[in-house]
């Protein structure tokens, strides 16, 4: 029997369990019992906390997005050099490998967004927030003279996020030659061109 836990603890457990289950079976294909199994509980216990499975899945996906986004922001927080910030941010937008849970989860949602307005809105919002993140980096770098932008920051930010997203899909699909390092180089090649910077850290 599973050890009894408080409401809050268990809900957090279930969100993680739902994420794991969705990684294995997809957000559409996942079953109540698979979530329960991941949590080490019975389906009844899951239903006790989330009478509607789709609510749990939504929360789990939302949590996954926030974790991805806030991890990027956190990694950014320590840095001051615009070049470092840009290079780091490009890196943190890519999956570490094909099994990267956060990015895998995001990829699963891409298709869903075509037929579910809620997921569409969530992904759209995530996209826009990431664009803003890049815009801030680009504009402060520009103000500090580190970058000479070749277009408005909205255009550049959108293209940077778009490149990340697309290469995330390729990496997750295990493209034989396009791995994380290669993808980072491809995006950096774009970033160098539009910032007029070599993006080498000036030590």
Partner DNA sequence: CGGCTTGTTGAAGGTGAATTCAACAAGCGC
Partner DNA sequence: GCGCTTGTTGAATTCACCTTCAACAAGCCG
Q: Which does 91 bind (CB under 5 to 8 A by kind): DNA, its own copies, none?
A: none
Interface with its own copies in residues 154-173 (CB under 8 A)? 155, 158-159, 161-167, 169-170, 172-173
Closest CA to 198 of 147, 155, 139, 163: 147
Q: Which is nearer to its own copies, 26 or 40 (CB)?
A: 26
Q: Which helix (H) or strand (E) holds 29?
A: helix 7-29
- Hunting for tokens 């996906």 — which residue is that? 61
CA distances from 60 to 10, 101, 142, 171 (A): 13, 12, 38, 23
**Any contact of residue 104 with its own copies (CB under 8 A)?**
yes
**Any contact of residue 10 with its own copies (CB under 8 A)?**
no
**Any contact of residue 138 with its own copies (CB under 8 A)?**
no
Residues in contact with its own copies by CB under 8 A are 23-29, 98, 104, 107-115, 117, 119-120, 123-124, 127, 150-151, 155, 158-159, 161-167, 169-170, 172-176, 178, 186-187, 189-190, 193-194
């Amino acid at each position: 029997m599973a050890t009894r836990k408080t409401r809050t603890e268990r809900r957090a457990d279930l969100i993680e369990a739902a994420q794991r289950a969705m990684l294995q079976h997809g957000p559409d294909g996942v079953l109540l019992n698979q979530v329960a199994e991941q949590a080490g509980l019975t389906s009844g216990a899951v239903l006790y906390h989330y009478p509607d499975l789709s609510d749990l899945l939504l929360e789990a996906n939302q949590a996954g997005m926030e974790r991805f986004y806030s991890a990027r922001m956190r990694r950014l927080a320590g840095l001051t050099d615009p070049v470092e910030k840009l290079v780091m941010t490009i890196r943190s937008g890519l999956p570490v490998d094909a099994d990267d849970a956060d990015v895998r989860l995001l990829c699963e949602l891409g298709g869903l967004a075509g037929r579910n307005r809620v997921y569409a809105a969530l992904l759209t919002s995530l996209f826009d927030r990431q664009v803003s993140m890049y815009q801030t980096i680009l504009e402060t770098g520009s103000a500090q003279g580190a970058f000479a932008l070749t277009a408005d920051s909205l255009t550049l930010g959108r293209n940077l996020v778009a490149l990340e997203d697309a290469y995330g899909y390729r990496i997750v699909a295990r493209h034989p030659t396009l791995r994380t390092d290669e993808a980072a180089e491809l995006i950096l090649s774009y970033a160098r061109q539009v910032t007029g910077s070599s993006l080498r850290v000036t030590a």
